[in-house]
Amino acid sequence: MNTILNELLRGLDPDQILTDEPMREHTTMRVGGPADLFLSPASPDQVLFILDTCARHQVPVAVVGNGSNLIVRDKGIRGAVLHLGQAFSAIEELPGCRLQAQSGASLSRLAQEALKSGLSGLEFASGIPGSVGGGVAMNAGAYGGELKDVLETATVLKDGKIITMTCGELEAGHRTTRVLREGGIVLSAVFRLESGDPDAIRSRMDDLNARRRDKQPLQYASSGSTFKRPAGHFAGALIEGCGLKGFRVGGASVSVKHAGFVINDRDATAGDVLSLIREIQERVLRETGVSLETEVRVLGEA
Protein backbone atom coordinates (compact mmCIF):
# COMPACT_ATOMS: atom_id res chain seq x y z
CA MET A 1 0.00 0.00 0.00
CA ASN A 2 2.82 2.44 0.81
CA THR A 3 4.26 2.03 -2.67
CA ILE A 4 1.10 3.07 -4.49
CA LEU A 5 0.39 5.81 -1.94
CA ASN A 6 3.81 7.36 -2.56
CA GLU A 7 3.24 7.23 -6.28
CA LEU A 8 -0.25 8.73 -6.04
CA LEU A 9 1.21 11.64 -4.08
CA ARG A 10 3.24 12.59 -7.16
CA GLY A 11 0.04 13.60 -8.94
CA LEU A 12 -2.48 14.30 -6.18
CA ASP A 13 -2.55 16.47 -3.07
CA PRO A 14 -2.65 14.64 0.27
CA ASP A 15 -6.24 15.74 0.92
CA GLN A 16 -7.31 14.02 -2.31
CA ILE A 17 -6.26 10.63 -0.92
CA LEU A 18 -8.09 8.86 1.92
CA THR A 19 -7.47 5.35 3.22
CA ASP A 20 -9.95 2.97 4.87
CA GLU A 21 -12.69 5.48 4.12
CA PRO A 22 -16.18 4.36 5.25
CA MET A 23 -18.40 4.25 2.19
CA ARG A 24 -21.53 4.78 4.27
CA GLU A 25 -20.41 8.43 4.32
CA HIS A 26 -20.57 8.52 0.52
CA THR A 27 -23.87 6.78 -0.27
CA THR A 28 -27.34 8.21 0.21
CA MET A 29 -28.46 4.82 1.62
CA ARG A 30 -25.86 5.33 4.40
CA VAL A 31 -24.53 1.78 4.28
CA GLY A 32 -21.20 0.28 3.30
CA GLY A 33 -17.84 -0.73 4.69
CA PRO A 34 -14.48 0.95 4.07
CA ALA A 35 -12.72 1.50 0.76
CA ASP A 36 -8.98 0.75 0.81
CA LEU A 37 -8.31 3.95 -1.16
CA PHE A 38 -10.69 6.83 -1.77
CA LEU A 39 -9.37 9.20 -4.43
CA SER A 40 -10.92 12.53 -5.46
CA PRO A 41 -9.45 13.92 -8.71
CA ALA A 42 -9.96 17.54 -9.72
CA SER A 43 -9.22 17.30 -13.46
CA PRO A 44 -9.35 14.84 -16.37
CA ASP A 45 -5.55 14.57 -16.22
CA GLN A 46 -5.79 13.43 -12.60
CA VAL A 47 -8.43 10.86 -13.56
CA LEU A 48 -6.05 9.45 -16.18
CA PHE A 49 -3.18 9.53 -13.67
CA ILE A 50 -5.17 7.58 -11.09
CA LEU A 51 -6.31 4.96 -13.58
CA ASP A 52 -2.81 4.51 -14.99
CA THR A 53 -1.20 4.28 -11.54
CA CYS A 54 -3.75 1.77 -10.26
CA ALA A 55 -3.45 -0.33 -13.41
CA ARG A 56 0.32 -0.56 -13.06
CA HIS A 57 -0.08 -1.66 -9.44
CA GLN A 58 -2.92 -4.04 -10.37
CA VAL A 59 -5.30 -2.23 -8.03
CA PRO A 60 -8.96 -2.43 -9.14
CA VAL A 61 -10.83 0.86 -9.47
CA ALA A 62 -14.52 1.57 -8.89
CA VAL A 63 -15.88 4.90 -10.12
CA VAL A 64 -18.58 6.61 -8.04
CA GLY A 65 -20.35 9.94 -8.00
CA ASN A 66 -22.46 11.12 -5.10
CA GLY A 67 -23.62 7.59 -4.26
CA SER A 68 -27.32 8.21 -4.78
CA ASN A 69 -27.81 5.04 -6.81
CA LEU A 70 -25.27 2.89 -5.00
CA ILE A 71 -25.16 0.22 -2.30
CA VAL A 72 -21.76 -0.78 -0.96
CA ARG A 73 -21.61 -4.12 0.82
CA ASP A 74 -20.64 -4.31 4.49
CA LYS A 75 -17.03 -5.43 4.06
CA GLY A 76 -16.33 -2.47 1.81
CA ILE A 77 -14.32 -2.14 -1.37
CA ARG A 78 -10.93 -3.70 -1.95
CA GLY A 79 -8.83 -1.48 -4.16
CA ALA A 80 -9.52 2.13 -5.05
CA VAL A 81 -12.63 4.24 -5.33
CA LEU A 82 -12.32 7.07 -7.86
CA HIS A 83 -14.73 9.69 -6.56
CA LEU A 84 -16.00 12.25 -9.05
CA GLY A 85 -17.51 14.68 -6.57
CA GLN A 86 -17.15 18.24 -5.33
CA ALA A 87 -13.59 18.62 -6.64
CA PHE A 88 -14.82 17.73 -10.13
CA SER A 89 -18.05 19.73 -10.34
CA ALA A 90 -17.51 22.93 -12.35
CA ILE A 91 -20.48 24.33 -14.30
CA GLU A 92 -20.06 26.87 -17.11
CA GLU A 93 -22.56 28.71 -19.28
CA LEU A 94 -21.85 28.45 -23.01
CA PRO A 95 -23.26 30.45 -25.92
CA GLY A 96 -26.50 29.28 -27.47
CA CYS A 97 -28.51 28.50 -24.31
CA ARG A 98 -26.12 25.76 -23.23
CA LEU A 99 -24.56 24.66 -19.95
CA GLN A 100 -21.44 22.53 -19.57
CA ALA A 101 -20.99 20.58 -16.35
CA GLN A 102 -18.33 18.27 -15.00
CA SER A 103 -19.57 14.88 -13.91
CA GLY A 104 -19.32 15.52 -10.17
CA ALA A 105 -21.84 18.38 -10.24
CA SER A 106 -25.18 17.42 -8.73
CA LEU A 107 -28.20 17.47 -11.02
CA SER A 108 -30.05 19.65 -8.53
CA ARG A 109 -27.26 22.24 -8.64
CA LEU A 110 -27.20 22.08 -12.45
CA ALA A 111 -30.95 22.77 -12.50
CA GLN A 112 -30.42 25.74 -10.16
CA GLU A 113 -27.69 27.13 -12.43
CA ALA A 114 -30.06 26.82 -15.37
CA LEU A 115 -32.67 28.76 -13.41
CA LYS A 116 -30.14 31.51 -12.60
CA SER A 117 -29.36 31.82 -16.31
CA GLY A 118 -33.04 31.85 -17.32
CA LEU A 119 -32.71 28.52 -19.12
CA SER A 120 -35.55 26.01 -19.26
CA GLY A 121 -35.41 22.25 -19.80
CA LEU A 122 -33.87 20.90 -16.60
CA GLU A 123 -36.75 21.56 -14.23
CA PHE A 124 -37.47 17.82 -13.96
CA ALA A 125 -33.92 17.24 -12.68
CA SER A 126 -34.11 19.73 -9.80
CA GLY A 127 -34.97 17.05 -7.25
CA ILE A 128 -32.99 14.11 -8.64
CA PRO A 129 -30.30 13.29 -6.05
CA GLY A 130 -27.69 12.05 -8.53
CA SER A 131 -24.71 13.66 -10.22
CA VAL A 132 -24.23 14.67 -13.85
CA GLY A 133 -21.88 11.78 -14.63
CA GLY A 134 -24.10 9.05 -13.25
CA GLY A 135 -27.21 10.78 -14.55
CA VAL A 136 -25.89 10.92 -18.11
CA ALA A 137 -24.60 7.34 -17.97
CA MET A 138 -27.98 5.99 -16.91
CA ASN A 139 -30.14 8.62 -18.66
CA ALA A 140 -31.73 9.75 -15.40
CA GLY A 141 -35.21 11.16 -15.51
CA ALA A 142 -38.33 12.07 -13.58
CA TYR A 143 -41.84 13.39 -14.19
CA GLY A 144 -41.76 12.79 -17.93
CA GLY A 145 -38.30 14.27 -18.54
CA GLU A 146 -35.02 12.51 -19.26
CA LEU A 147 -31.50 13.86 -19.67
CA LYS A 148 -31.40 12.65 -23.27
CA ASP A 149 -34.08 15.25 -24.00
CA VAL A 150 -31.60 18.07 -23.31
CA LEU A 151 -28.20 16.41 -23.69
CA GLU A 152 -26.06 17.64 -26.59
CA THR A 153 -22.73 15.87 -26.03
CA ALA A 154 -20.86 13.96 -23.36
CA THR A 155 -17.10 13.78 -22.89
CA VAL A 156 -16.28 10.18 -22.05
CA LEU A 157 -13.13 8.32 -21.03
CA LYS A 158 -13.29 4.97 -22.79
CA ASP A 159 -10.52 2.44 -23.42
CA GLY A 160 -7.91 4.93 -22.24
CA LYS A 161 -9.02 7.69 -24.62
CA ILE A 162 -11.10 10.81 -24.03
CA ILE A 163 -13.79 11.11 -26.70
CA THR A 164 -16.83 13.27 -27.31
CA MET A 165 -20.11 11.47 -27.99
CA THR A 166 -23.31 13.04 -29.24
CA CYS A 167 -26.56 12.22 -27.54
CA GLY A 168 -27.47 10.03 -30.51
CA GLU A 169 -24.19 8.12 -30.25
CA LEU A 170 -24.93 7.40 -26.58
CA GLU A 171 -28.05 5.47 -27.69
CA ALA A 172 -29.90 6.41 -24.54
CA GLY A 173 -32.87 4.31 -23.45
CA HIS A 174 -34.83 3.96 -20.24
CA ARG A 175 -32.15 4.25 -17.53
CA THR A 176 -29.40 3.10 -19.86
CA THR A 177 -26.83 4.32 -22.41
CA ARG A 178 -23.88 2.84 -24.25
CA VAL A 179 -21.63 4.12 -21.45
CA LEU A 180 -23.54 1.98 -18.96
CA ARG A 181 -23.69 -1.02 -21.27
CA GLU A 182 -20.16 -0.92 -22.67
CA GLY A 183 -18.17 0.77 -19.93
CA GLY A 184 -16.59 4.19 -19.72
CA ILE A 185 -16.52 7.23 -17.46
CA VAL A 186 -18.51 10.37 -18.18
CA LEU A 187 -16.21 13.31 -17.47
CA SER A 188 -18.51 16.17 -18.48
CA ALA A 189 -21.59 16.96 -20.52
CA VAL A 190 -23.11 19.82 -22.49
CA PHE A 191 -26.84 20.48 -22.25
CA ARG A 192 -28.80 22.47 -24.83
CA LEU A 193 -31.67 24.30 -23.17
CA GLU A 194 -34.16 27.03 -24.08
CA SER A 195 -34.47 30.60 -22.93
CA GLY A 196 -37.32 30.91 -20.47
CA ASP A 197 -38.96 33.08 -17.86
CA PRO A 198 -37.19 32.57 -14.51
CA ASP A 199 -40.45 32.89 -12.57
CA ALA A 200 -42.09 30.18 -14.69
CA ILE A 201 -39.03 27.94 -14.38
CA ARG A 202 -38.96 28.39 -10.60
CA SER A 203 -42.68 27.71 -10.35
CA ARG A 204 -42.32 24.46 -12.30
CA MET A 205 -39.40 23.36 -10.12
CA ASP A 206 -41.27 24.22 -6.93
CA ASP A 207 -44.29 22.23 -8.12
CA LEU A 208 -42.25 19.14 -8.97
CA ASN A 209 -40.32 19.28 -5.70
CA ALA A 210 -43.56 19.63 -3.73
CA ARG A 211 -44.89 16.53 -5.49
CA ARG A 212 -41.71 14.67 -4.57
CA ARG A 213 -42.01 15.65 -0.92
CA ASP A 214 -45.65 14.55 -0.92
CA LYS A 215 -45.07 11.16 -2.54
CA GLN A 216 -41.52 10.10 -1.66
CA PRO A 217 -39.89 9.26 1.72
CA LEU A 218 -37.29 12.00 1.46
CA GLN A 219 -36.80 12.15 5.24
CA TYR A 220 -35.12 8.72 5.24
CA ALA A 221 -31.85 7.46 3.78
CA SER A 222 -32.44 5.62 0.53
CA SER A 223 -31.04 5.05 -2.92
CA GLY A 224 -34.06 6.61 -4.56
CA SER A 225 -36.33 4.43 -6.65
CA THR A 226 -35.02 0.91 -6.05
CA PHE A 227 -36.40 -0.86 -9.12
CA LYS A 228 -36.68 -0.11 -12.81
CA ARG A 229 -40.18 0.27 -14.17
CA PRO A 230 -41.21 -3.11 -15.63
CA ALA A 231 -42.95 -3.00 -19.00
CA GLY A 232 -46.64 -2.36 -18.57
CA HIS A 233 -46.43 -1.97 -14.78
CA PHE A 234 -45.27 0.28 -11.96
CA ALA A 235 -42.86 -1.32 -9.50
CA GLY A 236 -44.31 0.49 -6.49
CA ALA A 237 -47.86 -0.63 -7.32
CA LEU A 238 -46.76 -4.26 -7.73
CA ILE A 239 -44.92 -4.20 -4.40
CA GLU A 240 -47.84 -2.56 -2.62
CA GLY A 241 -50.23 -5.05 -4.20
CA CYS A 242 -48.22 -7.86 -2.63
CA GLY A 243 -48.80 -6.35 0.80
CA LEU A 244 -45.17 -5.36 1.28
CA LYS A 245 -45.53 -1.75 2.41
CA GLY A 246 -43.73 -1.54 5.73
CA PHE A 247 -42.16 -4.99 5.32
CA ARG A 248 -38.82 -5.05 7.10
CA VAL A 249 -35.50 -6.88 7.19
CA GLY A 250 -33.37 -5.63 10.08
CA GLY A 251 -32.94 -1.88 9.80
CA ALA A 252 -34.27 -1.65 6.23
CA SER A 253 -37.92 -1.46 5.24
CA VAL A 254 -40.26 -0.86 2.33
CA SER A 255 -41.48 2.71 2.61
CA VAL A 256 -45.10 3.05 3.70
CA LYS A 257 -45.23 6.29 1.71
CA HIS A 258 -44.03 4.84 -1.62
CA ALA A 259 -43.49 1.09 -1.97
CA GLY A 260 -40.94 1.61 -4.74
CA PHE A 261 -38.44 2.88 -2.16
CA VAL A 262 -36.36 0.72 0.18
CA ILE A 263 -35.31 2.92 3.10
CA ASN A 264 -32.73 2.78 5.88
CA ASP A 265 -34.80 3.87 8.86
CA ARG A 266 -33.19 1.87 11.70
CA ASP A 267 -29.42 1.93 11.10
CA ALA A 268 -29.54 -0.80 8.47
CA THR A 269 -26.58 -2.74 7.18
CA ALA A 270 -26.04 -3.30 3.47
CA GLY A 271 -26.90 -6.93 4.18
CA ASP A 272 -30.31 -5.86 5.49
CA VAL A 273 -30.97 -3.74 2.40
CA LEU A 274 -29.92 -6.41 -0.08
CA SER A 275 -31.84 -9.16 1.71
CA LEU A 276 -34.96 -7.01 1.64
CA ILE A 277 -34.51 -6.32 -2.08
CA ARG A 278 -34.23 -10.06 -2.79
CA GLU A 279 -37.34 -10.78 -0.71
CA ILE A 280 -39.31 -8.15 -2.63
CA GLN A 281 -38.19 -9.57 -5.98
CA GLU A 282 -39.06 -13.13 -4.98
CA ARG A 283 -42.48 -12.21 -3.58
CA VAL A 284 -43.47 -10.06 -6.57
CA LEU A 285 -42.33 -12.70 -9.04
CA ARG A 286 -44.19 -15.44 -7.17
CA GLU A 287 -47.43 -13.49 -6.84
CA THR A 288 -47.53 -11.52 -10.09
CA GLY A 289 -45.16 -13.23 -12.49
CA VAL A 290 -43.30 -9.94 -13.00
CA SER A 291 -39.53 -9.85 -12.53
CA LEU A 292 -38.28 -6.66 -10.92
CA GLU A 293 -34.86 -5.41 -12.01
CA THR A 294 -32.96 -3.11 -9.67
CA GLU A 295 -31.83 0.38 -10.62
CA VAL A 296 -29.24 0.46 -7.86
CA ARG A 297 -25.62 -0.51 -8.41
CA VAL A 298 -24.00 -2.86 -5.87
CA LEU A 299 -20.26 -2.85 -5.11
CA GLY A 300 -17.91 -4.41 -2.57
CA GLU A 301 -17.52 -7.53 -0.48
CA ALA A 302 -20.37 -9.07 1.51
How high does pLDDT run on average in the chain?
97
- Indicate which residues carry an active-site annotation: 175, 225, 295
State which amino acid sits at residue 88: F
The whole-number pLDDT of residue 187 equals 98
**For residue 247, what are the contacts with CB-CB under 8 A and spacing of at least 6?**
253, 254, 276, 279, 280
The whole-number pLDDT of residue 210 equals 97
SS3 141: strand
E strand or H helix that includes residue 113:
helix 107-116
Q: Which residues of the chain have pLDDT under 70?
A: none
Phi, psi torsion values for 35, nearest 5 degrees: -95, 135
Which domains does the chain show, CATH number per domain?
2-87 (3.30.43.10), 89-214 (3.30.465.10), 218-292 (3.90.78.10)
| Single pTM value for the model | 0.94
Asked whether the beta carbons of 17 and 37 are under 8 A apart, the reply is yes
The whole-number pLDDT of residue 302 equals 81
Q: Measured between alpha carbons, how far is 261 from 216 in angstroms, rounded to an integer?
A: 8
The whole-number pLDDT of residue 175 equals 86
**For residue 175, what are the contacts with CB-CB under 8 A and spacing of at least 6?**
138, 139, 140, 141, 228, 295
Asked whether the beta carbons of 73 and 32 are under 8 A apart, the reply is yes
The whole-number pLDDT of residue 174 equals 84
Buried b (16+ CB within 10 A) or exposed e, 263-275: bbbeebbbbbbbe
Asked whether the beta carbons of 12 and 49 are under 8 A apart, the reply is yes
